[in-house]
Amino acid sequence: MSKEYKLQTPLTDEDVEKLRAGDKVLLSGLVYTARDAAHKKIVTALEKGEEPPFPLQGAVIYYVGPSPAPEGRPIGSAGPTTSYRMDSFAPYLHSLGVKASIGKGKRNQAVKDALQTHKGVYFGATGGAGALISQCIEKARVIAYEELGPEAVRVLKVRDFPLLVINDAFGGELYAMPRLPTT
Amino acid sequence: MRQIDAASITDKVAEMVVRANVELPQDVLKALASALEEETSPAGREVLQQLLDNAALAKSTRLPLCQDTGLAVFFVELGNDCHVQGDLTEAINQGVRRGYKEGFLRKSACHPLTRANTGDNTPAIIHTDVVPGDGLTIRFMAKGGGSENMSRATMLTPAQGWKGIRDFVINRMAEAGPNPCPPTIVGVGIGGTFDQAPILAKKALFRPLDVPHPDPEIAAMEDELLAAINDLGIGPMGLGGKTTCLGVRINMAPCHIASLPLAVNVQCHSSRHLEVSIS
């Protein structure tokens, strides 16, 4: 039976260990945005021995490239982007302390294995509900790679961001397996 | 010969790119609402309700429906008795620059290898057909990357026929699973040449969901594919359920006796498109 949790970032091993695929989470605190180009830069920096643009321990990375903020709002539309494009980076980041990512769509086996090895979790948010999701983002600020425009790394302050646990730290997965026709 | 000033085209394009990105077309809204009535999966129902709430919020706040406000794709029908005073392509690109800036829309166009953003969401992708008459019709689609990445084209052999087409489309959508933001709309281009099939598929996405194909045989093929995709059980956002696809749209064209080109253009539920006629 799925449960509902309120969680605060940074996440701990204990937070992750209670979550199972299908659970609902309302997440509050600081999350960091990064998508394709930012991931490449972060990993390149780490491999050179440089500091990452945000503390990785307990971090939640949101795969999003928001639309520009209109006047009077902290951010524009801000729904999740498709996660598999970050699969080649995610296991390494989990090995360095990242606890969770937020996106949409399937992850590969290497990511699912990394979630088990390093006690991590993959959250799904509703793709295409960018206007709705932006309502739970209270603050947004670019903290690295401003030149990447929509792909720059931002720190977001979120309150009660509604998420679903898609892949948990025990090999569980929420996504439906397609029923292929037999003919 | 009718004269149209390029500046008026820029104005219309700037307006339409913003409007398309904040107002979901009525046929899509209707399809989502009736999907919600039919859907039995609780998680699927919750997603469909969120999508309807998101559409209402986007319309009232003018925030984009989705942060991925797409590459700007245009299908232009230019009457051969219509003369554009100025540069038609530049007029459209200028409208995209202005609309994406003024509407606070995300600029997603970048160099394919360096990934450097072009900064203004141009160049737009523009397909132009010359048609009889003196009209100018511009159709715009904000095409998101997540669903576009799930699209595929292939060259079947003539012997593979309808079964080959059916298997390819269904397997593609099964493999895509939750990635393209289901419930999707699936454009299928059958025939033409290697380059024409995907254009047929993309053009097909403009036909409203409540308008069946005029050819009853093709309409029946669309219904068959729609039922088969929904039988996959992927459901809204991949969380399981009856609503994996809102509609299949087929465009067909004659092809070479040796060929059977096929393209599947996947469109997410946020099917943002608009048509204007300029006079």
Q: Which CATH number belongs to the domain containing residue B139 in this structure?
A: 3.30.360
**Model confidence, pTM:** 0.96
Q: Flag whether B29 is in a domain.
A: no
Considering the domain architecture, whether residues B75 and B207 belong to the same structural domain is answered as: no
**Residue B25 confidence (pLDDT):** 98
Q: Could you tell me the fold of the domain covering A5-170?
A: fumarase (3.20.130)
The answer to whether A86 and A63 are in contact (CB under 8 A) is: yes
- Nearest residue to A80 via CA among A54, A51, A53, A107: A107
Which among B143, B171, B195 is the end of a domain? B143
Q: Which residues of A136-173 are buried (b: 16+ CB within 10 A; e: fewer)?
A: bbeebeeebbeebbbbbbbbbbbeebbbbbbbbbeebb
pLDDT at residue A181 in the model: 83
State which of B113, B143, B173 marks the end of a domain.
Answer: B143
pLDDT digits (tens, 9 = 90+) for B116-129: 999 999 999 999 99
Closest CA to B4 of B279, B259, B262: B279
- Whether B104 and B214 share a structural domain: no
C-alpha to C-alpha distances, B99 to B19, B72, B211, nearest whole angstrom: 9, 11, 29
Q: Quote the domain boundaries for residue B118.
A: 2-22+65-143
Number of domains in chain B: 2
Residues B9, B110 within the same domain: yes
Please choose, from the candidates A161, A151, A105, the residue with its C-alpha nearest in 3D space to the C-alpha of residue B68: A151
pLDDT tens for each residue of B54-105? 999 999 999 999 999 999 999 999 999 999 999 999 999 999 999 999 999 9
List of chain B residues whose C-beta atoms are within 8 Å of the C-beta of residue A130? 54, 63-68
Reported ipTM: the value is 0.95
Query: Within this chain, do residues B75 and B187 fall inside the same structural domain, yes or no?
Result: no
Rounded Cα distance between B87 and B185, Å, is: 34
How confident is the model over A19-73, as pLDDT tens digits?
999 999 999 999 999 999 999 999 999 999 999 999 999 999 999 999 999 999 9
Nearest CA in chain B to A124: B237
Max distance between CA atoms of chain A, in angstroms, equals 56
Q: What is the mean pLDDT of residues B3-27?
A: 97
Q: Does B32 reside within a domain?
A: no
Q: What are the pLDDT digits (tens) for B20-60?
A: 999 999 999 999 999 999 999 999 999 999 999 999 999 99
Q: Which of B61, B146, B239 sits opposite A81 (nearest CB)?
A: B146
The verdict on a CB contact (< 8 Å) between A130 and B65 is yes
- E strand residue ranges, chain B: 2-5, 71-79, 82-85, 125-131, 136-143, 152-156, 184-191, 245-253, 260-267, 273-277
Same-domain check for residues B166 and B241: yes
**B251 in any annotated domain:** yes
Pairwise CB contact (< 8 Å): A150 & B106: yes
B134 and B177 belong to one structural domain? no
- Give the residue from A67, A102, A165 with the most B CB atoms within 10 Å of its CB, the best one to mutate: A67
Q: Clarify whether residues B197 and B159 are in a common domain.
A: yes
Residues of B with Cβ-Cβ distance to A176 under 8 angstroms: 233-235, 238-241
Residues B101 and B174 in one domain: no
Cβ separation A65–B119 shorter than 8 A = no
Tally the C-alpha atoms within 13 A of residue A171's C-alpha that lie toward its C-beta. 0
Band of the pLDDT at A183, cuts 50, 70, 90? low
Secondary structure of residue B236 in the 3-state scheme: helix
Q: Which residue has the tokens 């930012």?
A: A38
Residue B121 and residue B161 in one domain: no
Q: Is B57 inside a domain boundary?
A: no
Q: For residues B174 and B262, state if they share a domain.
A: yes
Domain end call among B114, B143, B172: B143
Q: Is A132's CB within 8 Å of B239's CB?
A: no
Q: Are residues B132 and B150 in the same domain?
A: no
In this structure, the answer to whether residues B117 and B134 fall within a common structural domain is yes
